[in-house]
Structure 1
């Protein structure tokens, strides 16, 4: 019986805003190890084609909620464990491949290009001959060095990301194909990568693949992938809320035919560059006041508003109180007979404890928020009735809904994103019957998007402010669109990058 190839799985993921004062620590990554990693991904479990064809070995993966810069101690501890576990795997078997399961926009105190640094440490254990396939978020950042250290590198093709599992499976399937080529003694195993950086840095809220021009740009990706001699094609939008030189859009096309991958990469890069002036926000935008005025004047229910500046799924601290403070100051919502509003959310551990002790139905006065990010507003104190309590959430741990006038404010022990209808219904809230639903988010995730009868993107302050120039980037490469409106046409010829053993030194 032929030997099954052995592939290890490792990686750390955290989309990190350098403009958010919070810090991300090791427990936030919820590390998974060994067989728990295999259980996480159905496409590598026994009974699946990849699961039966490969012996999968889980080292360690950790996926943190986006947030502030990762502490150096957290990174060193988790990366050391990854290296140690890979060392044990290599000592016990012949390792053929590594699936590098990352996001691509992680920042760590005192380090640069962290995903590449982590992969270099992994390469130091597994060696230069083991094949590596990286799967990433399209909001990740791809340096030339990271491309050099990988054999395959790909990313999502949708935003909102509805192809996460599909992308990761593709990364593993392509990796197996390379391993099989090597086992069959084919002369050319490692593909070339055509890498093209673009001087464009846009927020996700202007580049959703639901809308043009991103829709037609990303529609061209599978067309390039289908070209003879091409194995994979990918476009990274990049991550706008970190101030690093690697942060920008990038195209990578992978394959064995130099002419094909170069032509395909240039095609995608040209589509992106030529469309740069066409990117606009995914919804009507306005100040918070303008959004509330529009929602109150509309007959569309529920009306959603994105409190986008403190979006925890983009790297916001999640505890900015500015939006809730402004909401509760409006006279329209002062009484219980006012328009019903759901607001998600503000963390406040002490407020949670006090509300839980008082119980559902009790009237309490609590203070929450601004424990981390008090730049834009201080803690908020409010008096209201405890509407519901829920324990055991993966992110929030404990959630409380406090009714203040006609506003149902969700408070959490720890920050949490609200993307699903059940996030609300499990708190005895019915967003479909609300007048206004306000969430700390950018573009609406699919369930909320389908639920909203109308919506606006509030241009609110915070660590992931949509007004990028207001944040004050200093380290990104310039010129950069849209920071510089007179950017000359860049050189869109492809850089052909083989895997470089010299970078392992």
Structure 2
């Protein structure tokens, strides 16, 4: 008899301080695939699952449920979560009704939230565990920015996270997750998992896993430990800090084969090292006016990083904090800035290319962070906002900005989209037919991928000290539910590390 494995995906990152609520349409714009069509996905985490499971088609049956992913945003609506959760649970229930299920394999993010539920993944994993019982293997793959909780750890056999930021290893992480599941099913692994957490809440500016840096060094430590003969798998986490939830923090996860004490010891080692690098994780910032002055004095293009409005962190993408500073410059100083504003995009599409338009733009979807800015400019492009990702977790997938336009205001190219989309490698500007090499100032709103996207055009990149739901530093966010003491508000407190285990 074949071993039967149920798979599914619910992958989105959420923000409690802003952004647009993540509804079913948010998923359908990105990925919402059900039934047997899920088995046709060849890339990303699910592609990695199949790469491991398919060669064993003679003794493994894969049962799909749903693959639902969305651009980060505000909390998932209750309706959307209920619909997707029900698809997963119904798929598992139907599989169980037809015969024994050996395991469940889920592609999750780890930092999703629902209205009233700060830990979506914990809720889902507990529901799955209640359904399948204690003896069926349950493995989930995660983003390394996951909010790790006791509910997640205690209800899973194995949790494994991406090892790269910028995220390049979704497929490989899928392979690792599927391999772990098969090792459990085949009786080769009795997983003892320990997750060390220390209350460090920082943005992602210094969170790369490439080259030198505090999180890169933490990841390298975790991977050195993984090479030990008595260690099965490790992960390192830099928690997505834009959730307002208790017991948040980053650290290290270690899985051993039936050795809980060693798992706890090594998870603590990784987490203590991460804590020791906390000051290095806080970024150096520059004010907007100073950044503009430095840009004008610099010989060449400059990238201004407004990470406080990062769609990839759940922001709406509608900030126009920089726009008045850019429009005040002479018209021969060319710049480009992205703005999500569905109303302005719709109004532009009532006109034609070449028409002039006077309109207020920005802060329409998330008005808590500022006021719209009046502009008068010329519409120089109208398009459908469709583009294709070149790499990353959505490699070769289409992105959908919705009806989009470019308004030229003096020397400023304002790229207006209807919907927020994740910034990876400059695909949105390409879709707007913007030649960034001709821009003096390029505005980026992602805290990490801007280097990869624009390093060929600029050798000066400055991270701005601006306000919004995804700022470069968390010091000024209005947290209400986080557990304190926590860095960066407090420092040098004794009890700064705890360990969660499933064994």
Distance (whole Å) between structure 1 residues aligned to residue 6 and residue 157 of structure 2: 15
- Residue 323 of structure 1: aligned partner: 322
2:274 counterpart (260, 268, 272) = 272
CA contact (8 A) 1:322 1:376 kept: no
Distance (whole Å) between structure 1 residues aligned to residue 144 and residue 72 of structure 2: 14
2:490 counterpart (481, 484, 488) = 484
Cα shift readout 1:332-372 (whole Å, capped 9, x = no counterpart): 24x2xx2110111x222332233223222222223333222
Alignment of 1:244-259 (within 5 A): 244-256=245-257, 257-259=259-261
CA contact (8 A) 1:9 1:56 kept: yes
TM-score where L is the length of structure 1 = 0.89
- Residue 502 of structure 1: aligned partner: none
Cα shift readout 1:245-265 (whole Å, capped 9, x = no counterpart): 132113221112334423322
Cα 1:358–1:67 change in 2 (3 A) is same
CA contact (8 A) 1:104 1:139 kept: yes
- Residue 239 of structure 1: aligned partner: 240
> Alignment partner of 1:254: what SS?
strand
Q: Which deviates more from structure 2 when the two are superposed, residues 247-256 or residues 368-377? A: 368-377
- Residue 340 of structure 1: aligned partner: 334
1:29 counterpart (27, 30, 39) = 27
Cα displacement (A) at 1:38: 2.5
- Residue 143 of structure 2: aligned partner: 137
Q: Which deviates more from structure 2 when the two are superposed, residues 286-295 or residues 364-373? A: 364-373
Distance (whole Å) between structure 1 residues aligned to residue 420 and residue 261 of structure 2: 48
Q: Which deviates more from structure 2 when the two are superposed, residues 65-74 or residues 39-48? A: 39-48
Cα displacement (A) at 1:244: 0.3
CA contact (8 A) 1:193 1:252 kept: yes
Distance (whole Å) between structure 2 residues aligned to residue 171 and residue 70 of structure 1: 25
Cα shift readout 1:2-50 (whole Å, capped 9, x = no counterpart): x443221223222111111632212212322123323224475899443
Find out whether 1:467 has 2:473 as its counterpart: yes
- Residue 287 of structure 1: aligned partner: 287
CA contact (8 A) 2:10 2:67 kept: yes
CA contact (8 A) 1:348 1:367 kept: no
Cα displacement (A) at 1:196: 1.7
1:375 counterpart (368, 371, 383) = 368
Distance (whole Å) between structure 2 residues aligned to residue 245 and residue 491 of structure 1: 14
Cα 1:374–1:490 change in 2 (3 A) is closer
Alignment of 1:444-459 (within 5 A): 444-445=449-450, 447-451=452-456, 452-459=458-465
- Residue 61 of structure 1: aligned partner: 67
> Alignment partner of 1:468: what SS?
coil
CA contact (8 A) 1:139 1:204 kept: no
- Residue 503 of structure 1: aligned partner: none
CA contact (8 A) 2:326 2:335 kept: no
Cα 1:61–1:379 change in 2 (3 A) is same
- Residue 222 of structure 1: aligned partner: 223
Cα shift readout 1:48-91 (whole Å, capped 9, x = no counterpart): 44322243222113212111122222222221222122222222
Distance (whole Å) between structure 2 residues aligned to residue 240 and residue 342 of structure 1: 28
Distance (whole Å) between structure 1 residues aligned to residue 17 and residue 323 of structure 2: 21
1:430 counterpart (431, 435, 439) = 435
2:55 counterpart (32, 52, 61) = 52
Distance (whole Å) between structure 2 residues aligned to residue 446 and residue 459 of structure 1: 18
Distance (whole Å) between structure 1 residues aligned to residue 177 and residue 405 of structure 2: 40
Cα displacement (A) at 1:290: 1.8
> Alignment partner of 1:384: what SS?
strand
Cα 1:115–1:491 change in 2 (3 A) is closer
Distance (whole Å) between structure 2 residues aligned to residue 236 and residue 180 of structure 1: 29
Distance (whole Å) between structure 1 residues aligned to residue 247 and residue 71 of structure 2: 21
Distance (whole Å) between structure 2 residues aligned to residue 44 and residue 21 of structure 1: 30
CA contact (8 A) 1:310 1:317 kept: yes
Unaligned segments of structure 1, at least 5 residues: 499-505
CA contact (8 A) 1:144 1:195 kept: no
> Alignment partner of 2:104: what SS?
strand
Distance (whole Å) between structure 1 residues aligned to residue 194 and residue 345 of structure 2: 52
Distance (whole Å) between structure 2 residues aligned to residue 112 and residue 279 of structure 1: 25
> Alignment partner of 2:475: what SS?
helix
Cα shift readout 1:74-117 (whole Å, capped 9, x = no counterpart): 22222122212222222234321111211111111112422111
- Residue 265 of structure 2: aligned partner: 263
Cα displacement (A) at 1:149: 0.6
- Residue 396 of structure 2: aligned partner: none
CA contact (8 A) 2:52 2:178 kept: no
Runs of 4+ deviating beyond 6 Å: none
CA contact (8 A) 2:109 2:142 kept: yes
Cα displacement (A) at 1:192: 0.9
Distance (whole Å) between structure 2 residues aligned to residue 421 and residue 111 of structure 1: 34
Cα shift readout 1:449-488 (whole Å, capped 9, x = no counterpart): 5333220111211111233221121211111121102322
Cα displacement (A) at 1:176: 1.4
Alignment of 1:33-432 (within 5 A): 33-42=34-43, 44=47, 48-53=51-56, 54-181=60-187, 189-210=189-210, 211-256=212-257, 257-281=259-283, 285-301=285-301, 303-328=302-327, 330=328, 332-333=329-330, 335=331, 338-344=332-338, 346-393=339-386, 394-432=399-437
Q: Which deviates more from structure 2 when the two are superposed, residues 355-364 or residues 211-220? A: 355-364
Distance (whole Å) between structure 2 residues aligned to residue 449 and residue 136 of structure 1: 28
CA contact (8 A) 2:9 2:67 kept: yes
